[in-house]
Amino acid sequence: MNTTRTLDRADSPSDIAGIAAAILLGFSLLFVAGISHAAILHDAAHDQRHAIAFPCH
Amino acid sequence: MTRRIFACAVYAGLAAGVAFALLSFAFVIPPLLEGELYEGGERVHFGAGGSPESEAGAPSLGGDIRRHGLTAALSVVSFTAFGLLMSAAFAIASRRGARIDARTGLAWGAAGFFAVQLAPAAGLPPELPGTVAAEIGARQIWWGMTVVLSLAGVALIGFGSGLAAVAGGVALLLIPHLVGAPHLDRYFGVAPPELAAHFATRSMAVSAAGWAVLGAVAGHFWSRADASERTPRAA
């Protein structure tokens, strides 16, 4: 547990991978909540898409 | 680092999503439901007599737990998505020496609101249900391009150095609006303009509150992780 502390300052590959994973997951969730045309997602997200001003319909 | 990015995003996304949902139920969903009355024809503005009058007043939220539950859940999903992108940006910025805490996080939230909500809304205003607009695919592409260019523009202005960076950032912010969002060549609105305008301003205001919570909470948890790293655990 304690040995991982020093990694934070270095340009470690795991840092880059973590940043990339967060960006990828962020865009994936954004697609689900705001963009997907799948009927079930559109219907579930309908009010929220209007409220948050994603283009809907 | 990875755990910290994801933890910040989840805490901040949950807090901001819940705040956004509660404020939505108070201020945005009522005019949305009122707009649906015009969408469905239960109320008519400029009716048969040509009178520009119609009854004002939002219906109650009603007891549709599933519908409102999904709205709350998807609000958390949206703000967790924004939180993941913000935390990833925190990681990049803090490696370059930026100070991240609740106070600076608030500024990040304001910048995020500006780039992700306000800038695209300047071209594609928040829509009441029943609004007839250009084809959805074209609008989504314009929306996505505007968000990406606006984030790049804001980042260039915030982190670049010199006048050239500011000029470049302003240019990136302006490009999508000079190109123009996709719009129809006719108006089809069935709802009163007062209602559509109020819905749009409410949507922006409540989104701004969500982004403020997102930035402040994400910044807070990011700085707490910083502090715990600096304090030797054996002391």
Q: Does A27 touch chain B (CB under 8 A)?
A: yes
Test B78 with A30 for CB contact under 8 angstroms. Answer: yes
pLDDT, residue B63, reads 84
What is the value of ipTM here, to two decimals?
0.89
**Cβ neighbours of A22 in B, within 8 Å:** 2, 5-6, 9, 84-85, 87-88, 91
In A, minimum Cα distance to B94 occurs at A9
Q: What average pLDDT does the segment B175-190 reach?
A: 94
What CA–CA distance (Å, rounded) separates B90 from B217?
A: 13
- Identify the pLDDT of residue B7: 96
Any domain includes A57? no
> pLDDT at residue A39 above 50?
yes
Residue A5 domain flag: no
Give the Cβ contact number of residue B180 at 10 Å: 9
Residue B200 Rama label (left phi>0; alpha psi -120 to 50; beta)? alpha
Residue A3: inside a domain, yes or no?
Answer: no
Is the pLDDT higher at B140 or at A5? Answer: B140
| Beta-carbon contacts of residue B211 (< 8 Å; ≥ 6 apart) | B16, B82, B109, B110, B112, B113, B116, B117
pLDDT of residue B156: 96
The total of other beta-carbon atoms located within 10 Å of residue B142's CB is: 21
Residue B163: strand, helix, or coil:
helix
Please tell me which residue, B110 or A57, carries the higher pLDDT value.
Answer: B110
Is residue A29 included in any domain, yes or no? Answer: yes
Indicate left, alpha or beta for B45 from its phi (over 0: left) and psi (-120 to 50: alpha): beta
- Residues from chain A that touch B207, judged by Cβ atoms under 8 A, are 51-53
Partners of A33 on chain B (C-beta within 8 Å) are 74, 77-78, 81
The answer as to whether A33 is a domain residue is yes
Mean pLDDT score, A21-42: 92
Share the mean pLDDT of chain B. 93
Q: How many domains does chain A have?
A: 1
Q: Do B1 and A29 touch (CB under 8 A)?
A: no
Give the type of residue at B81.
A
**What's the pLDDT score for residue B169?**
98
Q: What is the largest CA-CA distance in chain A?
A: 51
The SS3 call for residue B230 is: helix
- Closest residue of chain B to A27, computed from CA coordinates: B81
Report the mean per-residue pLDDT for chain A. 83
Chain B residues inside the 8 Å CB shell of A35 = 140, 144
Tell me A3's DSSP state.
Answer: G
Among candidate residues B111, B120, B112, B110, the one with its CA nearest the CA of residue B82: B112
Which residue range forms the structural domain that includes residue A37?
A: 12-52
Average pLDDT over residues B210-225: 96
- What residue ranges do the domains of chain B occupy? 2-127+193-230, 134-183
- Token pair listed for B125: 């205003």
